[in-house]
Amino acid sequence: MAFPKLLITGCNGLVGRILWKKLSDDFDLYGLDISPGEPSGKIFQADVSDLEQVKSMFSRVPSLTYVAHLAGDPRVDASWDSVFANNIGGTKNVYDAAQTFGVRRIVFASSNHVTGAYEGFPPSLHARPNPALIARRDPIRPDSFYGVSKAAGEAIARLYYEFYGLESICLRIGSVTKEDDPRVNPRFESTWLSHRDLVQLVKKSLKADVKFGIYYGVSNNTKRFWDISNAEVELGYRPEDDASKFMI
């Protein structure tokens, strides 16, 4: 039996590269990125802020079932103009194309910065003992234009689920590091998401029975301050790593 097709937008970014390596055993992978990256017949160059480019790219992958939508400006301090076009506009374009071409489910890379203001300016929650957990039902408190853009992306995802039945799992991803080591920033002892926990979370998001949800993506860090109980119950997420084990 053929693997189901999964398109990763932003496949040449940090998270995209991790997923590309680890999801090929279960999915027939396609990629989209604004940068050309390594040449491949299955990776297409397109700018998600341009609807025609996105639709043209989707048209080249018949019977596409899943999308992992990671494309966009990943910088927390990105300008309004950039996140407006790339993150808000780009997310609407990807959902538009996905709905047009019959995609069943999108895993959307939202961000912990949707509620980043709970951590203070600059973030200090990680330095406090036993802070109350921030949970999915708490009101959004973006800390940046980037955080606003991800909140808008979650709203777009919700609309396409309500109106068209296009399923979405929105992941408020924590701190993923290139070297898979949380010790580069004291905050990451709370917010780190290891590569293998990321991969588990995305795989389970693609397969879960729940059809729409918003979840924090974080490892089982001793100092974690995001509530992952809904991810445990609804997705079966069982994170294996703990940033505190790296700290001496």
Do 18 and 198 contact (CB within 8 A), yes or no?
Answer: yes
Min dist CB 160 to a copy of itself, Å, is 10
Contact between 34 and 47 under an 8 Å Cβ cutoff? The reply is yes
Answer yes or no: are the C-beta atoms of 125 and 92 closer than 8 Å.
no
| Cα–Cα distance measured from residue 211 to residue 147, given in angstroms and rounded to the nearest whole number | 24
Q: Is 118 designated active site? A: no
Instruction: Please say whether the dihedral angle defined by the alpha carbons of residues 62, 65, 71 and 72, taken in this order, is positive or negative.
Output: positive
Asked if 239 interacts with a copy of itself (CB under 8 A), we say: no
Our finding on whether 152 is near a copy of itself (CB under 8 A) is: yes
Rule CB under 8 A: choose which of 16, 31, 72, 89 binds a copy of itself. 89
- Residue from 14, 76, 125, 159 touching a copy of itself (CB under 8 A): that is 159
Residue ranges with strand state E in 112-202: 167-173
The answer to whether residues 125 and 131 touch, using CB atoms and an 8 Å cutoff, is: yes
Question: Applying CB under 8 A, what is the total number of residues that bind a copy of itself?
Answer: 27
Q: Which is nearer to a copy of itself, 25 or 77 (CB)?
A: 77
Least gap, CB of 105 to a copy of itself (angstroms): 18
94 binds a copy of itself (CB under 8 A): no
Beta carbon of residue 54, minimum distance to a copy of itself (angstroms, whole number): 13
Q: Which positions from 9 through 68 interact with a copy of itself, judged by CB under 8 A? A: none
Identify residues 101-130 at the interface with a copy of itself (CB under 8 A): 117, 121
Q: Report how far apart, in Å, the C-alpha atoms of 89 and of each of 96, 133, 145, 230 are.
A: 10, 31, 14, 29
Q: Which of 180, 69, 198, 174 is nearest to 125 (CA)?
A: 174
Catalytic residue chosen out of the listed positions 95, 146, 216, 237: 146
- Residues binding a copy of itself (CB under 8 A): 80, 84, 88-89, 92, 96, 117, 121, 137, 139-145, 147-148, 151-152, 155-156, 158-159, 162-163, 214
Active site residue ranges: 146
